[in-house]
């Protein structure tokens, strides 16, 4: 008899609990949320709830169109702690499992960011602990609600997040704590701006590392089309990276409000970076800060102990004349070891870039670039050493852009640039021979003999003198054009040193 009574009681309890869940799913949800499902399974003994064929739609408050749609093959809540809930008013769950979720979000660019924020008064007042959250074979898509264009998409999303604890007393930007995690996804697409898209073939994220494979960041328009639609100069670029690895990534919050990101090592493997700029487009007159100021004024704390670039291939092309092709400079086998990419350290610690590459496909180049982010004048030093450079290799840039052909050899070049955000000075030392500047006619092919002869009156053909095989010079007060890039400042400083060194006194 007792068994029968218990059985009846259990059946009644099962019916009551299931009915309450069904009622909550139909009447307790916000007015903007519509939920349907195929089957509801409840196991009181296991503390398990299973929903199958779930479809949830959320409608906007201002626009009566769905802004979020989600389907699930199955939602499982397993190991619900009745005792914890009844006695401590706290929710404890062993596992939450989402199988094959497909999420489509329609982003409305006209809604302000403030509208998405949830006030503290609306926060959930019950503490929640979930031992494990599993999301299997997910699909996420974000569309622009106005144009229906794709803003973000990722496939084959798998997430494992352990030891999740939500506490409403937390005041910072991350309202919960968690333990170990694993995230994997494939075929990521992201629209970074109106002009550039990011794609990642495969990604794996844990507390130990972030590994991205086959990453591409490129302009979505052709060079010609981009030049027609941009209001002022903008780089057209194509970046491809075999893999990007971030060791021990740590994303957190400082003083409850400021984001921070830190890692002991970030490594880019085999990047290929092609940059093109059309100088015929209207100049961009906005101020371009030096890297020290850019780091100093970030809205979050960044601390990357080392950033490594392995075997990069970099080219920069610049179109100056409408009837000529763009001039190009290249850096092959570009390797860099960058220390202290950070805005958290104190002086006198500096950010230091150690670079080795082959300039214009053949000339070994070594450079050391250093600066202190805490220096308000943005003081920096750039030292470089270039081995044998055949002048003819520079013609891929000088002929179309300067209408000049160079001949001869720069056997060895040293220079040191010291500067601030306003101006620089350079010490230049070079050994060269049989150097000749050939001015070209307007067609870019034939030699302009008269102009060439005039130019070479002022250019020393060799560096050798009675005292040394090197020529040396110092050039001060090289003014920075602040609307131009950081690399433009390095270039005009090096050019000023070279011209003063090679010009006949």
pLDDT higher than 70, residue 20: no
In a domain, 196, yes or no: no
pLDDT at 82: 67
pLDDT at 9: 52
Indicate if 296 and 328 belong to the same structural domain. yes
In a domain, 4, yes or no: no
Indicate if 361 and 489 belong to the same structural domain. yes
Indicate if 273 and 378 belong to the same structural domain. yes
- Per-residue model confidence as pLDDT tens digits over 70-104: 999 999 989 877 666 666 777 888 999 999 999 99
In a domain, 13, yes or no: no
Indicate if 260 and 180 belong to the same structural domain. no
Indicate if 168 and 232 belong to the same structural domain. no
User: What's the total number of domains in the chain?
Assistant: 2
CB-based contacts of 254: which residues, under 8 Å, 6+ apart?
260, 301
- pTM of the complete model beyond 0.75: yes
How far is Cα 40 from Cα 14, in angstroms, rounded to an integer? 12
How far is Cα 324 from Cα 403, in angstroms, rounded to an integer? 10
Mean pLDDT (whole number) for 164-186: 81
pLDDT higher than 60, residue 5: no
pLDDT at 282: 95
What one-character DSSP code corresponds to residue 168?
T
Supply the DSSP string of 107-128, one letter for each residue. Answer: E-TTS-GGGGPPPGGGS--S-E
Mean pLDDT (whole number) for 192-198: 95
pLDDT higher than 50, residue 121: no
Between residues 328 and 86, the one the model is more confident about: 328
CB-based contacts of 425: which residues, under 8 Å, 6+ apart?
417, 418, 419, 474, 475, 476, 477, 478
Indicate if 177 and 226 belong to the same structural domain. no
pLDDT higher than 60, residue 6: no
Mean pLDDT of all residues in the chain?
87
- The CA R_g of the chain, rounded to the nearest whole Å, is 31
Using CB atoms within 10 A of its CB, is residue 291 exposed (0-12), middle (13-18) or buried (19+)? middle
pLDDT at 168: 66
pLDDT at 84: 67
Mean pLDDT (whole number) for 434-463: 77
Burial annotation 218-244 (CB, 10 A radius, 16+ → b, else e):
bbebeeeebbeebeebbebbebbbebb
Indicate if 345 and 288 belong to the same structural domain. yes
Using CB atoms within 10 A of its CB, is residue 25 exposed (0-12), middle (13-18) or buried (19+)? middle
Indicate if 277 and 164 belong to the same structural domain. no
In a domain, 253, yes or no: yes
Q: Give which of 59, 70, 63, 57 is closest to 111, Cα–Cα.
A: 63
Specify whether the backbone of 300 is left (phi greater than 0), alpha (psi in -120 to 50) or beta.
beta
**Domain boundary residue, one of 191, 222, 248:** 191
Indicate if 95 and 221 belong to the same structural domain. no
Indicate if 279 and 424 belong to the same structural domain. yes
pLDDT higher than 80, residue 7: no
Phi, psi angle pair for 322, to nearest 5°? -65, -35
How far is Cα 332 from Cα 117, in angstroms, rounded to an integer? 47
**Domain boundary residue, one of 191, 224, 240:** 191
Question: Which pair of structure tokens corresponds to residue 458?
Answer: 């002022």
In a domain, 186, yes or no: yes
SS (H, E, C) 144-160: ECCCCCEEEEEEEEEEE
- Per-residue model confidence as pLDDT tens digits over 148-169: 789 999 999 999 999 988 876 6
Indicate if 218 and 172 belong to the same structural domain. no
Cis omega before residue 348 (within 30°)?
yes
Indicate if 175 and 233 belong to the same structural domain. no
In a domain, 476, yes or no: yes
pLDDT confidence tier of residue 120, bands split at 50, 70 and 90: very low
Domain of residue 226: give its range. 206-505
3-7, 265-269, 343-347, 493-497 — which is least confidently predicted?
A: 3-7
The fraction of the chain above a pLDDT of 90, given in percent, is 59
pLDDT higher than 50, residue 448: yes
In a domain, 119, yes or no: no
pLDDT higher than 80, residue 36: yes
Q: What angle (nearest 5°) sits at the alpha carbon of residue 59, between those of residues 53 and 61?
A: 155
- Per-residue model confidence as pLDDT tens digits over 43-72: 767 778 888 999 988 887 666 677 889 999
In a domain, 10, yes or no: no
**Domain boundary residue, one of 191, 220, 247:** 191
181-195, 282-296, 445-459 — which is least confidently predicted?
A: 445-459
């Amino acid at each position: 008899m007792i068994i029968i009574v218990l059985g009846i009681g259990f059946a009644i309890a099962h019916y009551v609990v299931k009915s309450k869940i069904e009622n909550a799913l139909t009447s307790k949800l916000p007015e903007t949320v519509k939920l349907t499902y195929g089957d509801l399974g409840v196991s009181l003994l296991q503390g398990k709830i299973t929903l199958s064929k779930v479809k949830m739609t959320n409608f906007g408050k201002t626009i009566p169109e769905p802004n979020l749609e989600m389907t699930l093959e199955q939602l499982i809540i397993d190991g619900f702690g009745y005792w914890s809930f009844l006695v401590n008013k706290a929710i404890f769950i062993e596992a939450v499992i989402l199988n094959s979720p497909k999420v489509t979000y329609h982003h409305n660019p006209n809604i302000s960011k403030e509208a998405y924020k949830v006030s503290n008064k609306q926060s959930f007042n019950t503490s929640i602990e979930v031992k494990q959250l599993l999301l299997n074979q997910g699909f996420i898509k974000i569309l622009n609600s106005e144009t229906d264009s794709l803003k973000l998409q990722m496939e084959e999303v798998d997430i494992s997040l352990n030891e999740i604890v939500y506490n409403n007393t937390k005041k910072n930007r991350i309202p919960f704590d968690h333990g170990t995690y694993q995230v994997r996804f494939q075929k990521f697409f992201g629209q970074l701006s109106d002009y550039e898209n990011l794609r990642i073939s495969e990604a794996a994220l844990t507390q130990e590392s972030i590994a991205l494979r086959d990453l591409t960041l490129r302009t979505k328009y052709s060079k010609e089309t981009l030049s027609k639609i941009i209001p002022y100069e903008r780089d057209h670029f194509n970046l491809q990276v075999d893999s990007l690895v971030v060791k021990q990534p740590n994303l957190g919050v400082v003083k409850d409000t400021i984001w921070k990101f830190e890692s002991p090592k970030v490594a880019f493997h085999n990047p290929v970076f092609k940059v093109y700029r059309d100088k015929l487009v209207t100049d961009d007159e906005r101020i371009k800060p030096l890297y020290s100021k850019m780091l100093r004024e970030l809205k979050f704390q960044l601390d990357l102990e080392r950033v490594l670039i392995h075997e990069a291939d970099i080219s920069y092309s610049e179109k100056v004349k409408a009837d000529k092709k763009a001039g190009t400079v290249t850096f092959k086998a570009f390797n860099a070891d960058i220390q202290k990419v950070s805005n958290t350290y104190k002086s006198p610690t500096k950010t230091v870039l150690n670079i080795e590459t082959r300039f214009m496909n053949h000339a070994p180049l070594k450079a050391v670039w250093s600066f202190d982010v805490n220096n308000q004048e943005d003081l920096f030093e750039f030292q470089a050493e270039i081995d044998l450079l055949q002048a003819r290799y520079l013609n891929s840039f000088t002929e179309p852009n300067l209408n000049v052909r160079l001949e001869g050899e720069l056997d060895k070049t040293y220079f040191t640039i010291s500067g601030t955000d306003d101006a620089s000075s350079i010490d230049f030392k070079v050994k060269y021979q049989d150097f000749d500047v050939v001015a070209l006619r307007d067609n870019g092919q034939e030699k302009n003999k008269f102009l060439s002869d005039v130019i070479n009156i002022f250019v020393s053909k060799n560096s050798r003198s009675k005292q040394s095989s090197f020529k040396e010079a110092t050039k001060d007060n090289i003014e920075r054009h602040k609307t131009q890039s950081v690399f433009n400042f390095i270039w005009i400083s090096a050019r000023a040193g070279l011209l003063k060194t090679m010009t006949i006194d």
